[in-house]
Structure 1
């Protein structure tokens, strides 16, 4: 019984160390930045009447992000928690607004989002790859 208890205690003590070995998805730029590009493209296409989304391209990209996260050892549950988190959604919105402002535009103005979308399409950025002019 002492061996079983000692083993259980060792496992419980090791869990935080094992979890610490894997950073939060938000801390992985290859995941978090990719999600930001998709979120910005969605926001632009939702608010700019002259731009539409490339839906299939966006969905395929989201599946590739999911596959990459799984390849890094994240479970479907961990990925879903990251994607569905209200805290993460608010953080992503703040990141998106900061990106728009960094381009000299106002994230609250639809016309500025249209300008951003047109610029991203013109330069062939990852955001622009998810968008097309109507």
Structure 2
């Protein structure tokens, strides 16, 4: 009987612990579900591709670093730990998803990473409209 009660308490404690973990923001919805943060990361990735492919456009490095730090602050304010944020941003699976979204954005806007002129056109257009991508770039 004593073993049975101990086992029951252990099971109940396990369910309570699982419920508490699942109710925290980091487990209830992962960073992949944070639209604003992911759109920000996508903008940084596209801006980086543009500046790497187009010799007449450079990065606004301090602006980009400040923007990335702001995204990280927002994630922490939503309850994500530094370890969770780092794991997410270093995840090969998440990077692949982001690359796919980036390629779709480029194609939708008539640009390709294999065509430097199209990347320069897109970069100049983004700068002109002062989009999030554009504010991370500077025309030389």
Partner of 2:58: helix, strand, or coil? strand
1:11-36 Cα distance to aligned partner (Å, 9 max, x none): 34425632686311111111100100
2:11 pairs with 1:11: no
Paired residues, what number?
Answer: 134
Q: Normalised by the size of structure 1, how large is the TM-score?
A: 0.90
> Which one of the candidate residues 125, 132, 139 is aligned to 1:126?
132
Q: CA deviation at 1:81?
A: 0.8
Larger radius of gyration: 2
Higher mean C-alpha displacement, 14-23 vs 85-94: 14-23
4+ runs of 1 displaced by more than 4 Å? none
> Which one of the candidate residues 66, 90, 98 is aligned to 2:104?
98
RMSD over aligned Cα atoms:
2.0
Equivalent position of 1:113 in the other structure: 119
> Which one of the candidate residues 31, 34, 39 is aligned to 2:37?
31
Tell me, yes or no, if the aligned pair for 1:101 and 1:107 is still in contact at 8 Å.
Answer: no
Equivalent position of 2:95 in the other structure: 89
> Which one of the candidate residues 77, 83, 108 is aligned to 1:71?
77
2:65 pairs with 1:59: yes
| In structure 2, distance between residues paired with 1:37 and 1:9 | 41
Higher mean C-alpha displacement, 11-20 vs 81-90: 11-20
Q: CA deviation at 1:108?
A: 2.7
| In structure 2, distance between residues paired with 1:5 and 1:16 | 16
Q: Normalised by the size of structure 2, how large is the TM-score?
A: 0.86
